[in-house]
Chain A
Amino acid sequence: MMTIDENIFLWINALAGRLPALDWLLKGIANDYLIIVGSCLVLLALWVWGSDVYQRDKNQKAVIGASIGLGLAQGFVSTLNAFYYRPRPFTELPTNLLFYQPSDSSFPSNSVAIVFAIAFAIFLANRKVGGFLLVLACLHAFSRVYVGVHYPFDVIVGAAGGIIIALLVTRVIKTLDKWVNPVMSLARKLYLA
């Protein structure tokens, strides 16, 4: 299993350094801020967005789900990191490293778990916006391997964790509708929703 993971890593990472424009693009996408902040700004826009009250209510519940999912994804990664440390690929394999050298555990990818948790929670409520965020999340996941800071298995587990968390949170929010609705109602009374 590890050998396949390492081989796929080496194959993807071998693409780095061939096209300077592609390196520059994927380095930007791989950083810890662009896609996460971009996804969160989409959540902010969705809170206000909606052609009618019903659509907006649906969007706002999805934003609540995505925000909770973001926190849980961070917790999921921290919990796994507490039990298992996997060195970064650039410390074990010949790597074309296009990035700074993170020192925390490689497994699972924290940023990938977060962007997938956000994207999938939105996708369940709004296919267009969620689909767009999922494309960005996939690009981010690929770029993390390309620049040499994660193995493919790290980003796959991060993405799977984010998706499962988003599914669970969305299900729980639907179940707890009678507790979510009063909160939304209060926010509406204060003209914040």
Chain B
Amino acid sequence: MASEYFYLVLIASVGVIQAAVAYNGFRGISFFSRKIYGYLFMALTLGPVLVAFFTWNERNLTGVIEGREQFYLFMLAIVAAIGFTLVLSSLLKHWSLRTNKVRHDGFETLKEVTFFQALRYRFLKRQ
């Protein structure tokens, strides 16, 4: 039951992140080249997860995950989703988003480069 909860939150989180970054134009952490694919990805991931949570008590008749355990599982799933997103998007966009300059700070940077490219420019001073 705990692993079911973890995977559902993980899948939904990846979908939500993809839609949010697509809407805001953060190409560096998007898996896709077009915004519409980001929205479609969210619909395909978040929709089934919401249905699964909606019908949770039909599948787990007396199933309860305690509040504290739920909190830890949720945080773990979110961290895993962010990590997965940063790694996969950096791999997918590594060649298409190469640039010689990082012009901004924070999330704005990720409109032009991937997360790991941005970190490399910051810490290795390759500007």
Contact = CB atoms under 8 A, between A and B. Distances in A.
Contact of A31 (B21, B56, B62, B68): B56
B50 A53 contact: no
B109 A33 contact: no
Contact of B20 (A36, A45, A71, A193): A45
A95 to B, nearest CB: 17
A110 B5 CA distance: 19
A189 B24 contact: no
Interface residues of A, number: 34
A4 interface: no
Contacts, number: 88
Contacts of A188: 105-107
Interface in A171-193: 187-191, 193
A191 B109 contact: yes
Nearest to B115: A191
Contact of A74 (B67, B108, B115, B118): B67
Interface string A34-67: 1011101100110111100100100000000000
Contact of A189 (B64, B105, B115): B105
A100 B58 CA distance: 10
B21 A34 contact: no
Contacts of B109: 191
Contacts of A5: none
Contacts of A36: 70
A33 B56 contact: yes
A33 B12 CA distance: 13
Interface in A51-100: 53, 56, 70-71, 74, 99-100
Q: Which 4 A-B pairs have the closest CB atoms?
A: A188-B106, A28-B54, A48-B20, A34-B53
Interface of B: 5, 8-9, 12-13, 16-17, 19-21, 23-24, 26, 46, 50, 53-57, 61-65, 67-68, 70-71, 74, 78, 105-110, 115, 118-119, 122
22 contacts: A28-B55, A31-B57, A32-B56, A34-B56, A37-B9, A37-B12, A37-B74, A38-B50, A41-B16, A41-B46, A45-B16, A48-B20, A48-B26, A53-B106, A74-B67, A100-B64, A110-B67, A188-B107, A191-B106, A191-B115, A191-B119, A193-B107
Given A29-B54, A48-B21, 11 more contacts: A38-B50, A41-B16, A44-B16, A44-B78, A49-B23, A74-B68, A100-B63, A110-B67, A188-B106, A190-B119, A191-B106
